[in-house]
Amino acid sequence: MHVAIIGNGITGMTAALRLRELQPDWEISMISGESKFPYSRPALMYVFMGHMRYQDTKPFDDDVWDDQRIELVRDWVTGIDVTGKQLNLHRSGSFGFDKLLIATGSKSNKFGWPGQDLEGVQGLYDLMDLEQLYANVERTKNAMIVGGGLIGIELAEMLHSAGVHVTFLVRESSYWNNILPAQESAIINRLIRGAGIDLLLETELREIQDDGTGRVGGVVTKDGRALDCQLVGLTAGVSPNTALAEASGIPCGRGVLVDWRLQAQVPNVFAAGDCAEIVKPGEERNLIQQVWYTGKMQGRVAAENLAGGGVEYDPGIWYNSAKFLDLEYHTYGMVFPSAAAENSVYWEHASGMHCLRLVHDDERRLVAMDSMGLRMRHEVFEPWIAQRLALREVIDRLAEARFDPEFSAQLEPEIASALRDQLEQPV
């Protein structure tokens, strides 16, 4: 039996290693166009800023793949013949398989802006983007970043660290307020501006202008402002990378359509990680998850099922962690923007740069939390959310969840008292 895996990101690499444990004698090949050896995508920014070397972003020593008898092929797959069980590879031609895992990740969104293909306009997703950034930054004094979110702020931090003046163009009235409640979003606004980065809210891009040589020379906003810049970062979100699957006739919606076993709608083909869309029968929205840990979990499930198991994917309780310009952000459970107005208690430090929000149900039991500038332990909060612990008890036991004792311990009485006061108020 020969299993081919397209993509060597966290999903592909996890699947390959788990499959090796389950099927010691099968042939396993992992094909990826971006790099021969897997590396950690979230670490791209640290490579650029000189905090890490590229080789330190590889989760495994290069020898591991030989030791595990996993063939690594550096090539782009240009077609999948599902019935003939053949891949077409850009450089090396046909490549046979018995079972296939598609783990092609995401792609940066582009919205058809005039000038979006000029030199100096780029996204931040992969090693090719990093190479482009090294080249582009050399000739950049002012950069424009279009779109908010996590990748936007990372790119801003990278450019800022290289001495480039950065301006954000953000369509919303506050940074990332389509995801964050109003107060948390306001913290990010303060953080960005405090770092010396210009943040233009409620500002949309109309076009990117050519400097006369095919390179970006500036942008014009929808309200007619012309802004000078030599680099434009497009960070208006990512979408599942379905180009190959779609072109090969494998059914796709927003992502490659799969069931809870991550099996695609054609025989012997699975899809997992950022590129997959799990169909939830009877529900309005399918499940697309585009973070590191879900890629890892889905990779394991795909391996179990490629090996012949019948394992269903259990997404568990959602969580995410990120760092915005040195400010840590954690969220466990789903905190919606509407949490600012309903069903939550919220504490914010007088500096306006640290906060904690506990979201509760109608019986005042914990369903989710988020924190900024304050680390709270995931392994403590997750069971509290799973058990729907009473909010009163959560507040009494906050010390159990603290991660950074010096800072949080000082603040705990203030945090607990502020949250308790809000809890006393009638719903």
Ligand X SMILES: Cc1cc2nc3c(=O)[nH]c(=O)nc-3n(C[C@H](O)[C@H](O)[C@H](O)COP(=O)(O)OP(=O)(O)OC[C@H]3O[C@@H](n4cnc5c(N)ncnc54)[C@H](O)[C@@H]3O)c2cc1C
Residues that bind ligand X (CB under 6 A): 6-12, 31-34, 41-42, 44, 76-77, 103-106, 124-126, 151, 154, 241, 244, 273-274, 290-293, 295, 322
Minimum gap (Å) between residue 274 Cβ and ligand X: 4
Task: Give every CB contact of residue 410 below 8 A, 6+ residues apart in sequence.
Answer: none
- Among residues 130 and 380, whose Cβ is nearest to ligand X? 130
Minimum gap (Å) between residue 367 Cβ and ligand X: 21
Minimum gap (Å) between residue 236 Cβ and ligand X: 13
Minimum gap (Å) between residue 214 Cβ and ligand X: 26
- Among residues 318 and 403, whose Cβ is nearest to ligand X? 318
Structural tokens at position 253? 């919606």
For residues 2 and 29, the answer to whether their CB atoms sit within 8 Å is yes
Secondary structure element (H or E) that encloses residue 331, with its range: strand 327-332
- Among residues 104 and 140, whose Cβ is nearest to ligand X? 104
Task: Give every CB contact of residue 351 below 8 A, 6+ residues apart in sequence.
Answer: none
- Among residues 30 and 394, whose Cβ is nearest to ligand X? 30
Burial class (CB in 10 A: 0-12, 13-18, 19+), 21: exposed
Residues 389 and 397: their CA atoms lie apart, in Å, by 11
For residues 183 and 329, the answer to whether their CB atoms sit within 8 Å is no
- Among residues 42 and 337, whose Cβ is nearest to ligand X? 42
Q: What is the DSSP letter of 235?
A: -
Q: How many angstroms from the chain centroid is the CA of residue 300? A: 19
Minimum gap (Å) between residue 151 Cβ and ligand X: 5
Nearest alpha carbon to residue 237 among 127, 385, 364, 110: 110
Minimum gap (Å) between residue 357 Cβ and ligand X: 20
- Among residues 106 and 221, whose Cβ is nearest to ligand X? 106
- Closest residue by beta carbon to ligand X: 105
